[in-house]
Amino acid sequence: PYNGPSADQILEKRKKFLGPSLFYYYQKPLNIVEGKMQYLYDENGRRYLDAFAGIVTVSCGHCHPEVLNAITEQNKLLQHATTIYLHHAIADFAEALASKMPGNLKVVYFVNSGSEANELAMLMARLYSGNLGMISLRNAYHGGSSSTIGLTALNTWKYPIPEGEIHHVINPDPFRGVFGSDATRYAKDVQDHIEYGTSGKVAGFIAETIQGVGGAVELAPGYLKQVYDIVHKAGGVCIADEVQTGFGRTGSHYWGFETQGVIPDIVTMAKGIGNGLPLGAVVTTPEIANVMAQKIQFNTFGGNPVCSAGGLAVLRVIDKEKRQAHCADVGSHLIGRLRSLQDKHDIIGDVRGRGLMVGVELVTDRKEKTPAKAKTAILFENMRELGVLLGKGGLHGNVFRIKPPMCFTKDDADYLVDALDYAMSKL
Ligand code: PMP
């Protein structure tokens, strides 16, 4: 049993010693003391079904035994030395990760977070292209560091600082977007930005393949193919942010970009790659990697033995436990049940996503698509009371994000949907 400080004591200390910009979920924040696969436990031993996986980070499951064992064994031998010496773990992990990539994406860089991965990708794009301008989608989240904040396009996260040349193009959002699912018209906006807002040349384009923080928004079908062509013609490189969508979570494909039939020039990863370890990666082509060779590039903790051993175990577990197929199977069951729930409750404006990357957008008026912000907040608290932890997203905070650890089962999905049905009926 837990005999540490209470939730109130922790919160008080947090307020005193941690920055005031920190936010927490729930009016009375949860004190989580233990995790096991798709379950989390609070200080009273109450179990919660985790449908948000520490913001889409715990891929294999909380404290998955095989990943835990790999980390523990490596911890006992050597935790740190850096790439100034050789170590097999980083090389083995890079080889395994490269083997998962299509095309010529064969050169791996390890970093410690998603923001760092996107910083590095942006640096590569600018060096390789010789241009400065970056294009990202409105409603995107690519990080909170002082330069990735420029790529992020949700005002809740953006501090007013100089961002450099960044163009935020119209989001190809089939539900809320001005052009519906018409990828060509959205792609035209990218062309327009290049023609009217740049010298005609850009450094690159970055997009999540299903927007995460923005509320599980899947891009209009065919969009990336058209935009990649436009960006390449303007001298830029195309970056896929797979921080949330990678590693089989979408079910139909191992990488989110594959759902749009494209091969990016640079792929960035974090979160699920480490099942909770602080780990990120950038994978690119030898041609792009070559521009980095004009200087030395170093990251003290990037690819350290412990994170590399853990990351390698994650790749192994996802394959061994057939998690991609599992995400497809459980995800289609979950989405099917949520769509049935949509027939029953008018508040559900949209159910979308792929595999275990699912969004439920709540509206007060289906025709106007008015965000049901207040009701979402109430349901969110009530779901916690019913033992289900959801994510929340979208600029208006009216989208439930269901992105559980990939070991989530159909029974778990049923419990979640039944709980949501109950909570909505009580509204
Ligand atoms: N890209 C995406 C798509 C993300 O969701 C996030 C984090 N929410 C990031 C980048 C930044 O990752 P980190 O918080 O590890 O810096």
- pLDDT tens-digit map of 209-267: 999 999 999 999 999 999 999 999 999 999 999 999 999 999 999 999 999 999 999 99
Closest Cα to atom 13 of ligand 1: 114
Cα(242)–Cα(256) distance, integer angstroms: 7
* Interval between CA 347 and ligand 1 midpoint (Å): 29
Closest Cα to atom 10 of ligand 1: 142
Cα(67)–Cα(313) distance, integer angstroms: 5
Average pLDDT for the chain: 97
Exposed/middle/buried for residue 100 (C-beta within 10 Å: 0-12, 13-18, 19+) = middle
Closest-CA residue to 219 (of 179, 192, 251): 179
Q: Is the pLDDT of residue 301 over 90?
A: yes
Cα torsion at 167, 401, 310, 296 (round to 10°)? 10
Cα(58)–Cα(44) distance, integer angstroms: 23
Nearest atom (ligand 1) to Cα of 116: 16
Residues 312, 315, 320, 321: is their CA dihedral positive or negative? positive
* Interval between CA 1 and ligand 1 midpoint (Å): 34
* Interval between CA 269 and ligand 1 midpoint (Å): 9
Residues 298, 301, 302, 303: is their CA dihedral positive or negative? positive
Fold of 325-401+414-427: Aspartate Aminotransferase, domain 1 (3.90.1150)
* pLDDT computed for residue 228 by the predictor: 99
Nearest atom (ligand 1) to Cα of 145: 16
Task: Read off the pLDDT of each residue in 305-323 and give the average, rounded to a whole number.
Answer: 98
Whether 426 and 379 have beta carbons less than 8 Å apart is answered as no
- Residues at CB less than 6 angstroms from ligand 1: 55, 113-115, 118, 141-143, 208, 212-213, 241, 243-244, 270
Task: Read off the pLDDT of each residue in 300-305 and give the average, rounded to a whole number.
Answer: 98
C-alpha 368, offset from chain centre: 29
Q: Is the pLDDT of residue 331 over 90?
A: yes
Nearest atom (ligand 1) to Cα of 280: 15
* Interval between CA 144 and ligand 1 midpoint (Å): 8
**For the chain, which residues make up each domain, given as ranges?**
65-320, 325-401+414-427
Q: 110, 142, 145: which to mutate for ligand 1, most atoms within 8 A of CB? A: 142
Instruction: Tell me which DSSP letter residue 170 carries.
Output: P
pLDDT band at 113 (very low <50, low <70, confident <90, very high): very high
Q: Is the pLDDT of residue 190 over 90?
A: yes
Task: Kindly report, residue by residue over 339-376, the tens digit of the pLDDT.
Answer: 999 999 999 999 999 999 999 999 999 999 999 999 99
Share of the chain above pLDDT 90, in %: 100
CATH of domain 65-320: 3.40.640.10
* Interval between CA 367 and ligand 1 midpoint (Å): 32
Q: Is the pLDDT of residue 407 over 90?
A: yes
Whether 214 and 244 have beta carbons less than 8 Å apart is answered as no
Q: Is the pLDDT of residue 396 over 90?
A: yes
Task: Kindly report, residue by residue over 69-110, the tens digit of the pLDDT.
Answer: 999 999 999 999 999 999 999 999 999 999 999 999 999 999
Residues 184, 187, 189, 192: is their CA dihedral positive or negative? negative
Pure H helices in 179-269: 183-197, 223-233
Cα(369)–Cα(363) distance, integer angstroms: 5
pLDDT band at 304 (very low <50, low <70, confident <90, very high): very high
Share of the chain above pLDDT 70, in %: 100
Closest Cα to atom 12 of ligand 1: 114
Instruction: Copy the structure tokens of residue 335.
Output: 């989405």
* Interval between CA 226 and ligand 1 midpoint (Å): 25
Task: Kindly report, residue by residue over 153-174, the tens digit of the pLDDT.
Answer: 999 999 999 999 999 999 999 9
When computed from its CA atoms, the radius of gyration of the chain, rounded to whole angstroms, is 21
Residues 253, 256, 262, 263: is their CA dihedral positive or negative? negative
Q: 115, 206, 277: which to mutate for ligand 1, most atoms within 8 A of CB? A: 115
135 - beta bridge partners?
167, 205
Task: Kindly report, residue by residue over 263-297, the tens digit of the pLDDT.
Answer: 999 999 999 999 999 999 999 999 999 999 999 99
Cα(36)–Cα(51) distance, integer angstroms: 13
Cα(35)–Cα(264) distance, integer angstroms: 35
Exposed/middle/buried for residue 34 (C-beta within 10 Å: 0-12, 13-18, 19+) = middle
Q: 110, 122, 141: which to mutate for ligand 1, most atoms within 8 A of CB? A: 141
* pLDDT computed for residue 71 by the predictor: 98
ipTM of the prediction: 0.99
- Amino acid present at 25: Y
218 - beta bridge partners?
210
Give, to the nearest 10 degrees, the angle between helix 305-320 and helix 65-77.
160
* Interval between CA 37 and ligand 1 midpoint (Å): 22
Q: How many other CB atoms are there within 10 angstroms of residue 2's CB atom?
A: 13
* pLDDT computed for residue 291 by the predictor: 97
Instruction: Copy the structure tokens of residue 185.
Output: 């018209």
- For 30-64, the DSSP string reads --EEEEEBTEEEETT--EEEESSHHHHT-SS-BT-
Q: Is the pLDDT of residue 1 over 90?
A: no
* Interval between CA 127 and ligand 1 midpoint (Å): 23
* Interval between CA 399 and ligand 1 midpoint (Å): 18
Whether 120 and 287 have beta carbons less than 8 Å apart is answered as no
* pLDDT computed for residue 222 by the predictor: 98
Q: Is the pLDDT of residue 122 over 90?
A: yes
Q: 149, 206, 244, 401: which to mutate for ligand 1, most atoms within 8 A of CB? A: 244
Residues 116, 259, 408, 69: is their CA dihedral positive or negative? negative
* Interval between CA 25 and ligand 1 midpoint (Å): 18
Strand, helix or coil at 6?
Answer: coil
* Interval between CA 246 and ligand 1 midpoint (Å): 12
Nearest atom (ligand 1) to Cα of 140: 3
Exposed/middle/buried for residue 176 (C-beta within 10 Å: 0-12, 13-18, 19+) = middle
